[in-house]
Amino acid sequence: MADQQLAKSFEGIGEEYDRYRPGFPDAAAQAILPERVDAVLDLGAGTGKFTALLISRAARVVAVEPSAAMLDVLRAKLPAVEALVGGAESIPLPDGSMDAVTVAQAFHWFDRDAACAEIRRVLVPGGTLALLWNHSDPDCAWDRACHRVAHPAVSAETDSTTASAADELPGFIFDRRSEIAWSEQITREDYIGRWLTVSSFLAADEDTRAAMVAQLNSILDRDPATADRTTFTLPMVTEVFTYRAV
């Protein structure tokens, strides 16, 4: 099960999260829902960064999220979405009411087996479960180095985010994995601000956080792609795992 203290670190940061965190490419939503469906649930929806891409793809879009601060931002941005307080382990929706469930940047926080049972319960038979994460581009040395400041113990082998997208999830058959490469222009200030919304920065004490920010600045000062620049190109990869409910 995920570290609950880290999972709760998102509770109060709705506006900062929405301002600084990256969005998702539309191609990710297209890979999950190539055809329009009746109802889709975005679970662990946060401020609705991925939910927004579902609106044109379903008649009914529901967002479930435990943090009230996150949901306040989502409701203000996306009034057409039904926004419900709840967790993956106890989803406030009836059995068989959703054609698809999406989980962006959040599945690794869930109690996996309890969440899979709940997701299976709210899906129609044969319904789609999609898990997705944004990653740094492995070829972008300065961004990889900054990732190591936030997550010193994490390597490609030990990444608990995508590792939670196992081939076998109880109640589901693995369908496919897709990778979508994209990039964004980001200011140095926003790049640092983004790291301040990451769980390990949020959970750190003030001195540790200041030391971590100093390490980020030192990496950006040294790399030719970022040194002396106020704005730079950040390459990203979105990884999408899809499953069918059995």
Ligand X SMILES: C[S@@+](CC[C@H](N)C(=O)[O-])C[C@H]1O[C@@H](n2cnc3c(N)ncnc32)[C@H](O)[C@@H]1O
Which parts of this chain interact with ligand X (CB under 6 A)? 7, 10, 21, 43-46, 49-50, 65-67, 70, 87-89, 104-106, 109-110
The residue at minimum Cβ distance from ligand X is 46
Query: What are the C-alpha distances in Å from 83 to residues 21, 166, 180?
Result: 20, 28, 28
- Kindly tell me which of 54 and 226 has the beta carbon lying closer to ligand X: 54
Give the nearer residue to ligand X in terms of CB position, either 65 or 226. Answer: 65
Q: Is 178 or 223 the residue whose CB approaches ligand X more closely?
A: 178
Would you say 199 or 226 has its CB closer to ligand X?
199
Q: Are 64 and 90 spatial neighbours (Cβ–Cβ below 8 Å)? A: no
18 or 143: CB nearest ligand X: 18
End-to-end CA distance of the chain: 24
- Minimum distance, C-beta of residue 51 to ligand X, in the bound complex (Å): 8
Least distance to ligand X, CB of residue 184, Å:
14
Cβ at position 225, least distance to ligand X in Å: 26
**Least distance in angstroms from the C-beta of 218 to ligand X:** 26
CB of 223 to ligand X, least distance (A): 26
